[in-house]
Amino acid sequence: MSVYENPDHWDAAARHYEKTAHPFTARFAEAALARVVLTPDSRVLDVAAGTGALALLAARTGARVLATDFSPAMVARIAAANLTNVEAKVMDGQTLALDDGSFDAVFSIFGVIMFPDWRKGLSEMARVTRPGGYGVVATWQDRGAATFLLLGQIRWKLFPERAGMTMPMAVQALSDPGDFARELVTAGFRDPHIEHVTHEYLLETAALAEPDTLFGMSPDWTSLSEEEKAAVVAEVWTFAADRAVLPIPSTALIATARR
C-alpha cells in the first residue's frame, strides 16, 4: 500500500497540510468553483476534501456543503471552521455512503486521483450527482506540483540513476486531456470540458532551514541520505539565486462535466 493510501499518514500530516498545501490548492479550488454556478439552494459534495480548500470556499456561496475524507484528522480541521452550512464526515470516496443523485455539484480537488481504485471514485462521484448536475475533478500533470515538482527536478539532475517517486496511477492516466475526458464519460458523466490551470507555488527560501518540514511529505525526500539531502538543499539555493521567494509554476487539469 502506498503511503498516500494510508489514512494514518494524512492524520499525522493534517495540520502541516492545512498550513502549507491548503492555501495553494485553494487557488485551484477557486478556479474549479468558477466553472459552476452555486446558490444557497445548491447541494454540494467535496470528495477527499483534505482540510476543506474547496468546501470552505463553496460555503461562501451559501450552498449546503458536505465534505468527506477518509482521514479523521482532516475532517476535524474542516469541522473546526464551525460553518453552519458545512458538514464534515469521515467517508471512503470509493464507497460513498450517500444516496444516488443527491447533489447538484460534486467536486474532488486532487483527491480522487490519490485513490487506489480511482475509477470507482469517479463513478461514485457520478452516482451521487443528480441528472443535469455537475462533476468537477482536478488532477496534477504527471510530474506533480509545488515542492514535489521541484524536488523531482532536482533529484533527476543530481541523481539521474536513481528512480524518483512514482506518481499515483490516476495522475499518470489522466495527464492527457483526451484520456481524462474518456474516463469521465466511462464513469457516467457527459460533455466533459478540460482546461489547464497554472498557479505559482511561492516557496519561501527561509523554509530551507528546516528541509525535513518542507519536503518531508515526499518519498523523493525521505528516501535520501543525509548527504544527498544536503546536496538537494544546496541546489535549491542555486535555483533561488538569493531570492527570498522561489516561484514554482504548477499546472493542473480541471475537468467539468455534466451528469
- pLDDT tens per residue, range 158-188: 998 887 667 889 999 999 999 999 999 999 9
Q: What is the pLDDT of residue 161?
A: 86
**The pTM of the whole model exceeds 0.85:** yes
Share of the chain above pLDDT 90, in %: 80
Report if residue 239 sits inside a domain.
no
Report yes or no on 99 lying in a domain: yes
User: Mean pLDDT score of the chain, rounded to an integer?
Assistant: 93
- Say how many domains are in the chain: 1
Contacts of 240 (CB under 8 A, 6+ apart): 203, 205, 246
Cell of residue 202, nine digits: 511561492
Q: Has residue 141 got a pLDDT over 70?
A: yes
Query: Is 70 exceeded by the pLDDT of residue 3?
Result: no
Condensed to tens digits (0 to 9), the pLDDT of residues 83-134 reads 999 999 999 999 999 999 999 999 999 999 999 999 999 999 999 999 999 9
pLDDT at 35 over 70: yes
The alpha-helical segments, DSSP class H, found in 6-52 are 7-33
The verdict on residue 215 lying in a domain is no
Full strand arrangement of the beta sheet holding 103-109: 86-90, 64-69, 43-46, 103-109, 129-140, 245-258, 190-204
Q: What is the pLDDT of residues 229-251, one digit of tens each?
A: 999 999 999 989 989 999 999 99
> In this structure, what are the phi and psi dihedrals at residue 201, rounded to the nearest 5 degrees?
-85, 125
Per-residue pLDDT, 1: 55
Task: Please give the Cα distance from 1 to 195 (Å, whole number).
Answer: 31
Does 65 have pLDDT greater than 60?
Answer: yes
- Half-sphere exposure of residue 254, counting CA atoms within 13 Å on the CB side? 22
**Is the pLDDT reported for residue 195 higher than 60?**
yes
Alpha-carbon distance of 240 to 233, in angstroms, equals 11
Task: Give residue 118's domain range.
Answer: 3-146+165-202+249-258
- The pLDDT score that the predictor gives to residue 187 is 98
Average pLDDT, integer, range 73-84: 96
**Residue at 230 is within a domain:** no
Q: Is residue 151 part of a domain?
A: no
Specify the CATH number for the domain of residue 40: 3.40.50.150
Residues 6+ apart with CB under 8 A from 161: none
Which residues contact residue 250 at a Cβ distance below 8 angstroms, ignoring those fewer than 6 apart? Answer: 24, 140, 144, 145, 146, 149, 198, 199, 200, 201
Per-residue pLDDT at 242? 86
Asked if pLDDT for residue 2 goes beyond 70, the answer is no
* pLDDT confidence of residue 34: 97
Q: Is residue 95 part of a domain?
A: yes
- State yes or no: pLDDT of 20 exceeds 60: yes
DSSP 1: -
Helices (H) and strands (E) in the chain, counts: 10, 7
**Measured between alpha carbons, how far is 103 from 112 in angstroms, rounded to an integer?**
17
Q: What is the spatial distance between Cα 5 and Cα 158, in angstroms, rounded to a whole number?
A: 29
Q: What is the DSSP letter of 224?
A: S
106 domain-assigned: yes
Q: Is residue 233 part of a domain?
A: no
